[in-house]
Structure 1
Amino acid sequence: MSSKLERLVTVRPTVNLPQCPLRQPRNLPLRGLLIVPFILQLVITVGLVGYWSFRNGQQAVNELVVNLQNQATQQINHHLDCYLTNARQLNELNATAISSGLVDPKDQDGLGRFFWKQAKLYQVGYILFGAKTGEYVDVGRPQTYPLELITERMSSKRYGDNRLYIYEPDSQGNRGRFVETGRYYPFQKEAWYTEVMRTSKPKWTSVYTWQSFTTNPLAIAISSPVYDKNKNLIGAIAIEQRLSQISDFLRQLKISASTTIFIMERDGRMIANSSSTESFKVVNGTPTRLKASDSPDSLIQSTATALNQQFGSLDGIQHRQQLRLVLQNQHQFVQIMPWQDDLGLDWLVVVVIPESDFMQQININTRHTILLCTIALMIAILTGIVTAHKVIQPILQINASAKAIADGNLAQTVNTQGVHELELLSHSFNRMADQLQQSFTALENANYVLERRVEERTAELERANRELQRLSEVDGLTQIANRRYFDQYLAQEWHRLQREQQALSLILCDVDFFKKYNDFYGHQGGDCCLRRVAQVLQQTVKRPADLVARYGGEEFAIVLPSTDFKGAIAVARSIQHEIYQSQFPHPNSEVSEFLTISIGVSSVVPTNTASPEQLVTAADEALYEAKRQGRDRYIFHSIPQPNA
Structure 2
Amino acid sequence: MRRINRQHLKLSLVLGLMGLLANLIPIPLFGNVQLIFGNIVVVITAILLGPWFALLTATLCAIGLFITWGSWHVFILFGLEAIWLGYARRKDIYALYADIGYWLLIGMPLFYAYILLFSSQPESHISFVTLKQGVNGLIYAALGSMLVTIFSSFWNLKGKVKDQKRRTFNAQLTYSFTLVLTISLLGSTLIFNHQVIEKQQVRLDETLQSSATNLGLNTEVFIETHKKAIDNAARWLSLSQADIQSWQNRLSKLHQSYPGFITMLVTDADAKIIAASPFSRLNRDKENTDNLTVKDRHYFQEAFFNQITYVSPVFLGRGFGKDPIVAVSAPIYHKDNASQPTGIIEGSLNLKTFADIDKKSTGTHHQSMIIVDENYRVIYASAALNLAPLSQFTWVESGKKYKTSLDMLNLHDIDNPNPEFVYSSYTLNNNWQLYVVQPFAPLLKTVETQYLTTFAILIFSLIITVVLTRAISQRLTTPLTALANKFAEKGYQDPASYNIDQESPREFLTLYQSIRQSKQQLIRHQLELEEKVAIRTFELEKANDKLQSLVEKDELTDLYNRRYAEAKFRSIQEFCHRSDEAMALAILDIDNFKTINDTYGHQGGDECLRVIAKSMKQFFKRDTDVTARYGGEEFLIILPLCNVLMIEDHLNEFRCKIKDLEIVNPHDDRPITMTVSIGAIVTNATYSESLETWFKEADLNLYKAKNQGRDRVIVSIPGSRQLS
Class of the TM-score when normalised by the shorter of the 2 chains? 0.3 to 0.5
Between 1 and 2, higher relative CO (CA 8 Å, sep ≥ 6) is seen in 1
Which is greater in Rg? 1
